[in-house]
Amino acid sequence: MTESIVRKIPVASEVSERISPTVGTVLPIISTQDLSLYYGATQALKKIAFQINERVVTAFIGPSGCGKSTLLRCFNRMNDLIDNVRIEGVVEIAGQDINGKQVDVIELRKRVGMVFQRSNPFPKSIHENIAYALRLHGLTNKDALSEAVEKSLRQAALWDEVKDRLHASALGLSGGQQQRLCIARAIAIQPDIILMDEPASALDPLATSRIEELILDLKREFTIVIVTHNMQQAARVSDFTAFFYLGELIEYDSTRKIFTNPANRQTEDYVTGRFG
């Protein structure tokens, strides 16, 4: 039954099937070991252990409240901003335990960018949305700033649409353009990883398509982890898919296998719409 889903939807990469998501052929850029997270007395993640290799797109799927976004926030310590959060286990980025006391969280978030569900441009010009972030990270030369702004807007497939109004307010852009601007802002500081928490859920189908095309382009340079409730989107853009349920990682494999021949019955029931 799952096979019919993938017949209609091209999976992002055939190459991914040759790489094990849990063993891999290269050092993983993200790995977790027995990762558990608690909000007060409530356990949101239960001993998550997996790894992600460089320059692939990994989709997190599962019903609301299953821990997808919570896990995503573990990779750049955004959960630090939430009261009463307790973490057990290990999260490593490029082999470094990011929860160690010696870790510079600002530097971590420079390496691990994030794009949120709702676009959140600054109430500044299009140019300043990107230049401001670059200045915060030490780039002050005017010509270098202009070059970096243009480069990131081109990478986000937005340059041609805004190059003649760079000093107009970013709030005047359409929803899809604002989200691409936020992606441009995230990639301007050249992170290793981009986290995307339902980046197209508030967009119309055309704007969603542009975001998906952009994701496929960006994975040539960045490792991307995306949370989505859209099964078709997960199949279209991701190389690997992880299915979560009630805080547990139920199954993690190549996207083609998850959607055509999952090992777990719960996974099959979810991707075919029997529950969730």
Q: For residue range 93-107, list pLDDT tens digits in order.
A: 999 999 998 999 999
Q: Which two tokens stand for residue 215?
A: 């994701």
Percent share of the chain, pLDDT over 90: 84
Q: Is residue 82 in a domain?
A: yes
| Helical axes 126-136 vs 175-188, angle rounded to 10° | 20
pLDDT at 19 over 60: no
Q: Is residue 154 in a domain?
A: no
Which pLDDT score, from 0 to 100, does residue 137 have? Answer: 84
Q: Which two tokens stand for residue 26?
A: 């290269």
Going by pLDDT thresholds of 50, 70 and 90, the confidence category of residue 262 is very high
Residue 223 CA to chain centroid, in angstroms? Answer: 8
- For residue 218, the domain's CATH number is 3.40.50.300
How many separate domains does the chain show? 1
Q: What is the DSSP string of the chain?
A: -THHHHHHS--S-SGGGGS-TTT-SS--SEEEEEEEEEETTEEEEEEEEEEE-TT-EEEEE-STTSSHHHHHHHTTTGGGGSTTEEEEEEEEETTEETTSTT--HHHHHHHEEEE-SS----SSBHHHHHHHHHHHTT---HHHHHHHHHHHHHHTT-HHHHTT-TTSBGGGS-HHHHHHHHHHHHHHT--SEEEEESTTTTS-HHHHHHHHHHHHHHTTTSEEEEE-S-HHHHHHH-SEEEEEETTEEEEEEEHHHHHHS-SSHHHHHHHTTS--
User: Contacts by 136-142 with C-beta closer than 8 Å and gap 24+?
Assistant: 137/110, 137/189
The tens digit of pLDDT for each residue in 61-113 reads 999 999 999 999 999 999 999 999 999 999 999 999 999 989 999 999 999 99
pLDDT at 114 over 70: yes
Which pLDDT score, from 0 to 100, does residue 11 have? Answer: 45
pLDDT at 16 over 90: no
Percent share of the chain, pLDDT over 70: 90
- 118 vs 257, residue with greater confidence: 257
Which pLDDT score, from 0 to 100, does residue 273 have? Answer: 87
Window from 24-33, 177-186, 191-200 with minimum mean pLDDT: 24-33
Range of the domain at 99: 3-117+192-271
- 3 vs 33, residue with greater confidence: 33
Mean pLDDT of the chain: 90
Going by pLDDT thresholds of 50, 70 and 90, the confidence category of residue 218 is very high
Q: Which two tokens stand for residue 205?
A: 């189908």
Going by pLDDT thresholds of 50, 70 and 90, the confidence category of residue 58 is very high
Q: Is residue 131 in a domain?
A: no
| Interatomic CA distance for residues 152 and 167, integer angstroms | 16
